[in-house]
Amino acid sequence: MADTMQFDLVSPERSVASLAISEVQIPGADGDMTAMQGHVPVITTLRAGVLRVNGPEGSQDYVVTGGFAEINADSISVLAEKAMLVSDAKADELDALVATATKAAADATGEIKDAADKQLADLEALRVEIGI
């Protein structure tokens, strides 16, 4: 299909998705962004959030907890720290991530504390967004 592009989502454990898509909404570290075919090449970091994919087969939502996205005119590759379908997300997994982020924020100082506080806030917002 001429209006689709290749989308690949991988985490260290596995390949999570490889699809023909029309657009993807990415939770970028500097703000959400939507990428479609013909997008100017860019690499962005991810924050914890929901990555939404739309294509000929419908829509799918994935939880990502950080990583990078490489966007080109005809493909998008997302390398996520952790990634899973929203429907597969479990409360205990997110609780463990929030607990780790809470400890990191409590132990941090200076600019590192700011980053740790942001990571914690993003994880808490993610938990609310997906209803866990």
Q: How do the domains of the chain map onto residue ranges?
A: 5-86, 90-129
Token pair for residue 18?
């490889």
Structure confidence at residue 38 as a pLDDT band (50, 70, 90)? very high
Residues present in the chain in total: 132
pLDDT of 51 > 80? The answer is yes
DSSP 84: E
State the SS3 of 12-64: CCCEEEEEEECEEEEEECCEEEEEECCCCCEEEEECCEEEEEEECCEEEEEEE
Instruction: Assign a CATH topology to domain 5-86.
Output: ATP Synthase; domain 1 (2.60.15)
Angle between helices 110-129 and 91-107 (to 10 degrees): 160
Helix (H, G, I), strand (E, B) or coil at 89: coil
Mean pLDDT of 28-41: 95
For residue 2, the model assigns a pLDDT of 60
Mean pLDDT of 53-59: 94
For residue 1, the model assigns a pLDDT of 47
For residue 132, the model assigns a pLDDT of 87
- Tell me whether strands 15-21 and 5-10 are parallel, antiparallel or unpaired: antiparallel
For residue 40, the model assigns a pLDDT of 95
Mean pLDDT of 44-50: 96
In the chain, count of helices (H) and strands (E)? Answer: 2, 10
pLDDT of 6 > 80? The answer is yes
pLDDT per residue as tens digits for the range 73-113: 999 999 999 999 999 999 999 999 999 999 999 999 988 99
What average pLDDT does the structure give for the chain?
94
